[in-house]
């Protein structure tokens, strides 16, 4: 039996922009296993699958074996309570191997979905009473959407914040859902920040700069009314590895420490490449 095969179906590709999409996948004849919010799944398509028009062409050595599946990890954005589909938030890497093929998918097309969800980037190991700050760039907000959809409900007894950075306001996927959640759930705070405000069509009245700047400017502390510290908060960083490294060094200056199973700390990392 091949290690990868078509075993799932695209139910809903929704383009947020021409280079970002929300993709829903349903299994074909098997049940989704249990998974924890924050974990990722493997998606795959064979080299013979067509590439989206917007992507670069493959030449020479780049042309893949038509029969071999190209597989990559994607954070799950849907609630782990949903058992009928998985949702993903994906950026097109124009020169990439898999994303140009994902961006050519239509409803009903077949795809490979790994049958096991993995990853340690979850809220499982953090103390019940700890406040939570979820910081991400671009599609790095995906695991946070799963956490929020699964765990957040009115009556929250601690602070829970999402800081989402992107170049433009239109690149801030899930913005309306996060804004609505902020209005419905006391204690939940959503802080979008964009790095190219001069390119906005309608002037941007929100924060500008990079995710790590929100910490340096004390914006979470200002909103919460108290300083997040290693004693009262856990912080998650996801997406662009440059942002993850820069934010980690800023946090380390304030006493936070990178978390690992062997050496527990308060900063949890997921680098997308």
Ligand X SMILES: Cc1cc2nc3c(=O)[nH]c(=O)nc-3n(C[C@H](O)[C@H](O)[C@H](O)COP(=O)(O)OP(=O)(O)OC[C@H]3O[C@@H](n4cnc5c(N)ncnc54)[C@H](O)[C@@H]3O)c2cc1C
Q: Which residues bind ligand X (CB under 6 A)?
A: 40, 72-75, 88-91, 93, 96-99, 119, 139, 142, 270, 272-273
Please state the closest distance from residue 268 (CB atom) to ligand X, in A. Answer: 12
Helices (H) and strands (E) in the chain, counts: 6, 12
Report yes or no: 127 and 86 within 8 Å, Cβ to Cβ.
no
CA gap 127, 153 in Å, rounded: 18
Closer residue to ligand X (CB): 72 or 159: 72
Please state the closest distance from residue 99 (CB atom) to ligand X, in A. Answer: 3
To 10 degrees, the CA torsion angle through 206, 212, 217, 223? 60
CA angle 129, 135, 138 (to 5 degrees): 145
Please state the closest distance from residue 232 (CB atom) to ligand X, in A. Answer: 28
Do strands 188-194 and 160-166 pair parallel, antiparallel, or not at all (unpaired)? parallel
Closer residue to ligand X (CB): 91 or 214: 91
Please state the closest distance from residue 139 (CB atom) to ligand X, in A. Answer: 4
Residues 6+ apart with CB under 8 A from 159: 131, 132, 187, 189, 224, 228, 233
Please state the closest distance from residue 129 (CB atom) to ligand X, in A. Answer: 28
Please state the closest distance from residue 2 (CB atom) to ligand X, in A. Answer: 19
Closer residue to ligand X (CB): 76 or 220: 76
User: Backbone dihedral region of 239: left (phi > 0), alpha (psi from -120 to 50 degrees) or beta?
Assistant: left
Closer residue to ligand X (CB): 123 or 220: 123
Closer residue to ligand X (CB): 142 or 163: 142
Q: How many CA atoms lie within 13 A of 84 on its CB side?
A: 2
Closer residue to ligand X (CB): 135 or 220: 135
Could you give phi then psi for residue 136, rounded to 5 degrees?
-155, 160
CA gap 36, 22 in Å, rounded: 19
Please state the closest distance from residue 81 (CB atom) to ligand X, in A. Answer: 19
Minimal CB distance to ligand X: which residue? 96
DSSP state string for 159-195: -EEEEEEESSGGG-TTHHHHHHHHHHSTTEEEEEEES
Please state the closest distance from residue 41 (CB atom) to ligand X, in A. Answer: 9
SS3 254: coil
């Amino acid at each position: 039996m091949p290690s990868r095969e078509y075993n799932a179906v695209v139910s809903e590709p929704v383009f947020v922009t021409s280079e970002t999409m929300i993709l829903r996948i349903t299994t074909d004849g098997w049940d989704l296993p249990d998974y924890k919010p924050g974990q990722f799944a493997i998606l795959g398509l064979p080299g013979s699958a067509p590439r989206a028009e917007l992507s670069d062409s493959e030449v020479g050595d780049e042309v893949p074996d038509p029969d071999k599946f190209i597989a990559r990890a994607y954070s799950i954005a849907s609630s782990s309570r949903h058992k009928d589909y998985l949702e993903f938030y994906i950026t097109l890497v124009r020169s990439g191997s898999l994303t140009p093929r994902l961006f050519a998918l239509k409803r009903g097309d077949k795809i490979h979905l790994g049958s096991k969800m993995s990853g340690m980037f979850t809220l499982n190991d953090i103390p019940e009473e700890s406040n939570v700050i979820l910081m991400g760039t671009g599609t790095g907000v995906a695991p946070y959407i799963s956490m929020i959809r699964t765990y957040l409900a009115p009556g929250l007894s601690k602070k829970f914040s999402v800081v989402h950075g992107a170049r433009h306001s239109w690149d801030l996927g899930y913005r309306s859902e996060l804004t609505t959640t902020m209005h419905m759930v006391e204690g939940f705070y959503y802080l979008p920040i964009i790095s190219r405000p001069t390119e906005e069509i309608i002037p941007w009245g929100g924060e500008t700069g990079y995710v790590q700047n929100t910490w340096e400017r004390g914006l979470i502390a200002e909103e919460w009314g108290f300083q997040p510290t290693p004693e009262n908060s856990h912080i998650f960083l996801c997406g662009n590895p440059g942002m993850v490294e820069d934010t980690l060094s800023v946090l380390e200056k304030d006493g936070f420490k990178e978390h690992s199973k062997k050496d527990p700390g308060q900063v949890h990392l997921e680098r997308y490449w």
